[in-house]
Amino acid sequence: MLDLRGYGWMLWDGLQITILVGICSMAVALLLGLIGAWGKLSKSKIAQGLAGTYTTVIRGIPELLLILIVYYGAPTLIQNIAARFGHDVIIDVNPFLAGFITLGFIYGAFTTEVFRGAFLAIPSGQIEAARAIGMSRTLAFRRVILPQVWRFALPGLGNVWMVLIKATALISVIQLPELMRNADVAARAVRLPFTFFFAASLLYLGITIVSMLIQQRAETWANRGVRRA
């Protein structure tokens, strides 16, 4: 098997941070996705325009460049604006925070599309029925729409998660000690790059396999009330 020369713990530590970054990013992406889908489906032209611009721009630019823009560009922009008003601000960005907020912001554009599709998949008759028996818009959303959205959204969200967890490897460029970064450090220390990157790739593969199993479980759960042919 792979001889990790006593550096296996680094990969283990990195794996934990990778999973943590992934989960935090996914939480941000889910929140932004719901807001974005609400914007895209709302009657307000401004909300539509904002949500449309968000998904169009984010999906057209590589993740790596977006990470560089947010991690290096945003603090400089804020500092420059503050300097214009005569303040001297120094912003020290925490890589973990910057990493998961950036990833969440990027994948929020993808979850927006997933949620939009899922909301549209709910028969409008159900919403009309809920309104007819006197539910307010918010109550109908909470009791009728939201519980069903998961059923239509889960396959898409699962895909986003798979792409997102692999994209966490890009956070290594901002020096966060996640799996990829730690594999790199360990590989340089013992000069066995293939061994360590291959071990890291197997760990990513493990995350993918576990995620697939969880996704199957979750889809069965979300479809529990549906009659099957």
Partner 1 sequence: MEPDGLLSGIYRTFQIVWESFPQLLGGALLTIEITIISVLLGLCFAVPLALARVSSNPLLRWPVYGYIFYFRGTPLLVQIFLIYYGSGQFSDFLEDIGLWTYFREAYFCAVLTLTLNTAAYTAEILRGGIQAVPHGEIEAARAVGMSGGLLYRRIILPKAFRLALPAYGNEVVFLFQATSLVSIITLMDLTGVARVIVARSFHVYEIYITAGLIYLTITYGILWVFRKVEFHLGGHLRERPATAVGSKAVVAPTVAPR
Separation CA 107–CA 137 (nearest Å): 28
Separation CA 89–CA 80 (nearest Å): 9
128, 49 contact by CB (below 8 A): no
148 vs 168 by CB, closer to partner 1:
168
174, 99 contact by CB (below 8 A): yes
Please list, residue by residue across 187-199, b when 16 or more beta carbons sit within 10 angstroms of its beta carbon and e when fewer do.
beeeebeebbeeb
37 vs 66 by CB, closer to partner 1:
66
x/- contact string, 157-186, with partner 1 (CB under 8 A)?
---------xxxxx-xx------x--xx--
Separation CA 134–CA 139 (nearest Å): 9
Binding of partner 1 by 49 (CB under 8 A): no
Its sign, for the CA torsion 77, 81, 83, 84, is: positive
Footprint of partner 1 on 100-159 (CB under 8 A): none
Find the radius of gyration of the CA atoms of the chain: 21
Binding of partner 1 by 62 (CB under 8 A): yes
x/- contact string, 192-221, with partner 1 (CB under 8 A)?
xxxx-xx-xx--xx--xx------------
Q: How far is the CB of 13 from partner 1 (least distance, A)?
A: 17
130 vs 170 by CB, closer to partner 1:
170
The contact set with partner 1 (CB under 8 A) reads: 57, 59-66, 68-69, 72-74, 76-77, 83-86, 166-170, 172-173, 180, 183-184, 187, 191-195, 197-198, 200-201, 204-205, 208-209
